[in-house]
Chains A and B, each alone.
Chain A
Amino acid sequence: MTGEHPIEMIDLRKEFKGFVAVDDLTLKIEKNSFTGFLGPNGAGKSTVLKILTNLIGATSGNAYINGADVSKEYKTALEGVGTVVETPEFYPYLTPREVFSYTGEIFGMNKESISSQTEEILSDMKMAEWGDKRIGTFSKGMKQRISIGIALMNDPSLIIFDEPTSGLDPRGMAETREILKGVRNKSKGLTVLMSSHDLHEVTDLCDRVAMVNHGRLLLHDRTAAVTGSNMTRRIGLRMINGPTDSAVSQISSLANVESAAVSGNTIEVRFTGNDGDQLRFFNDVGSLGLGVFNLHEIEALESVYLSLIAETR
Chain B
Amino acid sequence: MTEDCFSDNIRQTRVVMKYEFKKYSRGKMLIIFAMLMGLVLVMSTALTWLDGGFDNGSADLAFSYASSLQFLILLGATLLVSGTIVSEFEDRTALALFTKPIKKWSIYFGKFFIACIVGFMFVFIYYAIMAAICLAATGSLPSTILVSMGLALAFMFGMAGLAIMFSSMAKKFSIAAILTFASVLMVAQLISSMLYANAIDPWFMIDIAGASINGSILGADSMLWRDTAVMLVWGLVACAAGYITFRRRGL
Contact = CB atoms under 8 A, between A and B. Distances in A.
Q: Could you tell me the dominant secondary structure of chain A's interface residues?
A: loop
Contact of B15 (A55, A81, A105, A147): A105
Q: Could you tell me the dominant secondary structure of chain B's interface residues?
A: loop
A54 B104 CA distance: 10
Interface string A49-85: 0100111110000000000000001111111010101
B101 interface: yes
A266 interface: no
A103 interface: yes
Interface centre among A86, A88, A150 (most CB of B within 10 A): A88
A90 B91 CA distance: 8
Interface stretch (A91-99, A216-224, A277-285): A91-99
Interface in A94-119: 94, 98-99, 102-103, 105-108
A53 B99 contact: yes
A93 B95 contact: no
A192 B19 CA distance: 29
A88 B101 contact: no
B196 interface: no
Given A83-B99, A102-B15, A108-B11, A76 B250 contact: no
A89 interface: yes
A102 B19 contact: yes
Nearest to B16: A106
Given A57-B250, A76-B1, A108-B11, A85 B23 contact: no
Contacts of B99: 53-55, 78, 83, 85
Contacts of B96: 88-90, 99, 147, 150
B1 A88 contact: no
A77 B2 CA distance: 10
A81 B19 CA distance: 22
A278 to B, nearest CB: 42
B8 interface: yes
Contacts of A107: 100-101
B12 interface: yes
Interface string B1-22: 1110000100110010011001
Contact of B93 (A50, A79, A89): A89
Contact of A78 (B27, B91, B100): B100
A89 B95 contact: yes
Interface string A105-139: 11110000000000000000000000000000000
A76 B2 contact: yes
Contacts, number: 82
B91 A75 contact: no
Contact of B1 (A79, A105, A150): A79
Interface residues of B, number: 27
B242 to A, nearest CB: 19
A106 B12 contact: yes
Interface centre among B18, B98, B101, B102 (most CB of A within 10 A): B101
Nearest to B3: A73
Nearest to B107: A106
A225 to B, nearest CB: 31
Given A53-B99, A57-B250, A88 B92 contact: yes
Nearest to A134: B26
B172 interface: no
B250 A55 contact: yes
Given A83-B99, A108-B1, A90 B251 contact: no
A217 B99 CA distance: 24
Contact of A74 (B1, B22, B92, B101): B101
Contacts of B27: 93
Interface string B52-91: 0000000000000000000000000000000000000001
Nearest to B93: A89
Contacts of B3: 73, 75-76
A147 B99 CA distance: 12
Contacts of B250: 50, 55-57
A108 B2 CA distance: 13
A99 B103 CA distance: 19
Interface of B: 1-3, 8, 11-12, 15, 18-19, 22-23, 26-27, 91-96, 98-103, 250-251
Given A56-B250, A81-B101, A94-B22, 14 more contacts: A53-B99, A54-B98, A73-B3, A75-B103, A77-B101, A78-B99, A78-B101, A86-B95, A91-B93, A93-B26, A105-B18, A106-B15, A106-B101, A108-B1
16 contacts: A53-B99, A54-B98, A55-B94, A55-B99, A55-B250, A73-B3, A76-B1, A76-B3, A85-B99, A88-B95, A88-B96, A89-B93, A93-B22, A93-B23, A103-B100, A105-B18
Interface of A: 50, 53-57, 73-79, 81, 83, 85-91, 93-94, 98-99, 102-103, 105-108, 147, 150
**Cβ-closest 8 pairs across A and B:** A88-B95, A56-B250, A78-B101, A93-B26, A88-B96, A83-B99, A53-B99, A89-B92
